[in-house]
Amino acid sequence: MAEAARRIDRLDTAARFTAADAEALNARFAGVPTQEMLAAVLTEGLAGRIAAVSSFGAESAVLLHLIASIDPAVPVLFLDTGKHFTETLAYRDELIARLDLGDVRSLAPDPAELAARDESGLRWSYDPDGCCEIRKVRPLARALEEFDASFTGRKGFQSATRSGLARFEIDTTDAAGRLKVNPLADWSSGQIEDYLIASGLPAHPLVARGYPSIGCSPCTSVVAPGEDPRAGRWRGWDKTECGIHVEGAAEELPPGYDPAF
């Protein structure tokens, strides 16, 4: 791809990006306000066919509001794992209505795969990596096949593993060179809070109860003051990500793990 800033034909199913393209986009939008960058990406077609990946979690309303203010028809992909807090599902429905999101797609795990590999529904308790792969990694990978890029709500302050996160990067979970756009990469927790207040957006009901980062209910716990915001995710396990943002997620499963079972 000769120039990352060019418009990608939305009918070109082979349109993909390189590391040089991501670097060029990061250079073009260095210091540019998030809203201005998002407007250019969406109205100029800089990322081709793009969808937003949202957990409808603690801070999801900010990115969804920013995107919806430009184009509420942008597809939003929600991983309906079957393990969410009831509060998250209610919050999802509230934001869909409040922001008039026109294309929210719920991605469920494959029923046959669940029956074969997690019939009891308890895989999270002894193999959280395997559970995430079945309920998150595989469904998202299938859904993203039709897109050239995705928006994520990741932010650098959330954890040490996300520090220094760039606005534009290549999706390392995908060999085809899909672009990953992180509009809030350099936002602080204070900016997130200020935006929520200024925009009159509702807070996720679990935030006030000590959940600054919210995933599936069995693997999310309350975070104590001073802890990493994501300390409550998979507490007690050597695990910091669900796998949808990790290269070779299936290859990082515990020794002896067989994805067929």
CA 117 – CA 259 distance, rounded (Å): 8
**What pLDDT score was predicted for residue 164?**
77
pTM score, whole prediction: 0.84
**What pLDDT score was predicted for residue 155?**
83
Residues labelled catalytic: 242
Q: Which domain holds residue 227?
A: 19-248
The pLDDT-based confidence of 34 (bands split at 50, 70, 90) is: very high
- Of the given ranges (11-15, 172-176, 202-206), which has the lowest mean pLDDT? 11-15
CA 82 – CA 124 distance, rounded (Å): 12
We report the CATH number of the domain holding residue 123 as: 3.40.50.620
**What pLDDT score was predicted for residue 135?**
95
Strand partners, 145: none
Q: Is residue 261 part of a domain?
A: no
Q: Each residue of 181-211: b (16+ CB within 10 Å) or e? A: bbbbbbbeeeebeebbeeeebeebbbbeeeb
Domain count, the chain: 1
Phi, psi at residue 8, to the nearest 5°?
-90, 135
**What pLDDT score was predicted for residue 2?**
35
Q: Is residue 212 part of a domain?
A: yes
CA 183 – CA 52 distance, rounded (Å): 11
The string of pLDDT tens digits covering residues 229-250 is 888 998 988 887 776 755 544 3
Q: Is residue 258 part of a domain?
A: no
Average pLDDT over residues 37-56: 96
Residue 106 has pLDDT above 50, yes or no: yes
Q: Is residue 254 part of a domain?
A: no
Q: Is residue 221 part of a domain?
A: yes
Residue 11 has pLDDT above 60, yes or no: no
The pLDDT-based confidence of 157 (bands split at 50, 70, 90) is: low
The pLDDT-based confidence of 204 (bands split at 50, 70, 90) is: very high
How much of the chain, in percent, has pLDDT values that exceed 90?
A: 69
Q: How far is CA 154 from CA 14, 21, 67, in A?
A: 26, 20, 15
Q: Is residue 243 part of a domain?
A: yes
